[in-house]
A = this chain, B = another copy of it.
């Protein structure tokens, strides 16, 4: 299928994760970097029908005035990632892609996020319906202009505050009616999700923001035959929890307290200084330990913004547990990683998986992708090992068809 052309549309394109995704796809397309970090490139998945990096065109929305090349240079200089020669070699591609990034569409945005908007042509929509229409117009123009066979929409924007669902979010009919009357309250992430699904584009949510996670949008995805997945990519501390908590459970070692302190310095961290936005993230990080253990030990999760770290984050976890004969023991770990570098390959993996799912006629939430997420929609099992087996079986069974 050498002629297939696919697009990836990044909501929050010029953020660390979006920029690194663009850099990664451009570098992979030219054979300038290895496939390390890409789950879809594991030997186990050889032969699955994943789109090659060179077939991707990148576009997106952003509220900041910059380019992929400038954002990449900033990451390089501040966070010591990428190399100057690599950036030089892909500059033309990045510049082409930067032109595909349209100004964000804002409707009642959260203050912490709105504060980041420095792009003058950001478009304030008059109503939710108008916002959805504008977004869809951008998506369709992109697909048309680049003659793309398929397009996947990925949310990599900064975290929103938690959004509580009301009655209208539980039924597509009610939601549509409310939208028609300009009476629907939806967070920005869900406006974009609605726009994508309604226009029949697969939708991937890397963030803890609401996105497509509500019955009304799940209904829409089934109705429009669109695959979706989410939410909140599992890249560091929580990934560790999802392999360590099962260890304690299986050895019948009783976790007494699990304390996790996270420090990070990128824009995401900045947005998290807003207590409301932080609440989403902490909730997503805190839930799974109790599920994995089968009981609720004391847990503390903190996230603090430490600008000197730039795109790097360090998590220190202190796990206090009781072993045989009441003896208390301790496991501590520090995970030092670069946020964008950990998340961007998952964007590519999930885009490939969602595009492939669409071709295979799958619709609605893809539970087999749970291993990528902190809060996998529709999957209660947080054990990373078992989640990964689900992915293996999913790919294998599909290949057998």
Binding site for B on A (CB under 8 A): 20, 23-24, 27, 33-39, 41-43, 77, 80-84, 86, 239-240, 243-244, 246-247, 250-254, 256-257, 259, 261, 263, 294, 298, 300, 302, 304, 306-309, 314, 316, 318, 320, 322-338, 341-342, 344-345, 371, 383-386, 388
Q: Which residues does chain B contribute within 8 Å of A330, judged by CB atoms?
A: 314, 334, 336-337
Q: Which residues does chain B contribute within 8 Å of A328, judged by CB atoms?
A: 308
**Can you give 29 A-B contacts (C-beta < 8 A)?**
A33-B326, A36-B253, A36-B323, A36-B324, A37-B251, A37-B252, A37-B324, A38-B252, A39-B252, A42-B252, A77-B83, A81-B327, A84-B84, A86-B325, A239-B247, A240-B247, A243-B247, A250-B388, A257-B263, A298-B308, A306-B320, A314-B330, A323-B337, A323-B342, A325-B341, A329-B336, A329-B338, A331-B336, A333-B334
Query: Within the assembled complex, what's the spacing in Å between the Cα atoms of A304 and B246?
Result: 25
Query: Within the assembled complex, what's the spacing in Å between the Cα atoms of A201 and B294?
Result: 37
A326 and B34 within 8 A (CB)? yes
Chain B nearest CB from A31 CB (Å) reads 13
Q: Which residues does chain B contribute within 8 Å of A254, judged by CB atoms?
A: 36
Q: Given A307-B298, A324-B36: A331 and B333 within 8 A (CB)? A: yes
Query: Within the assembled complex, what's the spacing in Å between the Cα atoms of A307 and B80?
Result: 19
Contact check: which of B250, B320, B336 meets A42 at CB < 8 Å? B250
B318 and A345 within 8 A (CB)? no
For A384, the closest partner residue in chain B by CB is B247
Q: Which residues does chain B contribute within 8 Å of A308, judged by CB atoms?
A: 256-257, 298, 320, 328
A320 and B309 within 8 A (CB)? yes
Query: Within the assembled complex, what's the spacing in Å between the Cα atoms of A309 and B332?
Result: 14
Q: Which residues does chain B contribute within 8 Å of A253, judged by CB atoms?
A: 36-37
B325 and A82 within 8 A (CB)? yes
**Interface of chain A: mostly helix, strand, loop or mixed:** mixed
Q: Which residues does chain B contribute within 8 Å of A385, judged by CB atoms?
A: 243, 246, 383, 385-386
B325 and A33 within 8 A (CB)? yes
B314 and A318 within 8 A (CB)? yes
Query: Within the assembled complex, what's the spacing in Å between the Cα atoms of A253 and B39?
Result: 9
Chain B nearest CB from A117 CB (Å) reads 25
For A253, the closest partner residue in chain B by CB is B37
B39 and A251 within 8 A (CB)? yes
Chain B nearest CB from A317 CB (Å) reads 9
For A32, the closest partner residue in chain B by CB is B325
Chain B nearest CB from A240 CB (Å) reads 8
B341 and A23 within 8 A (CB)? no
Query: Within the assembled complex, what's the spacing in Å between the Cα atoms of A91 and B36?
Result: 34
Query: Within the assembled complex, what's the spacing in Å between the Cα atoms of A240 and B329?
Result: 14
Q: Which residues does chain B contribute within 8 Å of A344, judged by CB atoms?
A: 324-325
Q: Which residues does chain B contribute within 8 Å of A336, judged by CB atoms?
A: 329-332
A329 and B341 within 8 A (CB)? yes
B324 and A345 within 8 A (CB)? yes
B252 and A259 within 8 A (CB)? no
Contact check: which of B36, B298, B329, B332 meets A322 at CB < 8 Å? B36
Q: Which residues does chain B contribute within 8 Å of A337, judged by CB atoms?
A: 323, 329-330
Q: Which residues does chain B contribute within 8 Å of A326, judged by CB atoms?
A: 33-34, 36, 83
Q: Which residues does chain B contribute within 8 Å of A338, judged by CB atoms?
A: 323, 327, 329
Contact check: which of B80, B309, B371 meets A257 at CB < 8 Å? B309
Q: Which residues does chain B contribute within 8 Å of A325, judged by CB atoms?
A: 20, 23-24, 27, 33, 37, 81-82, 86, 341, 344
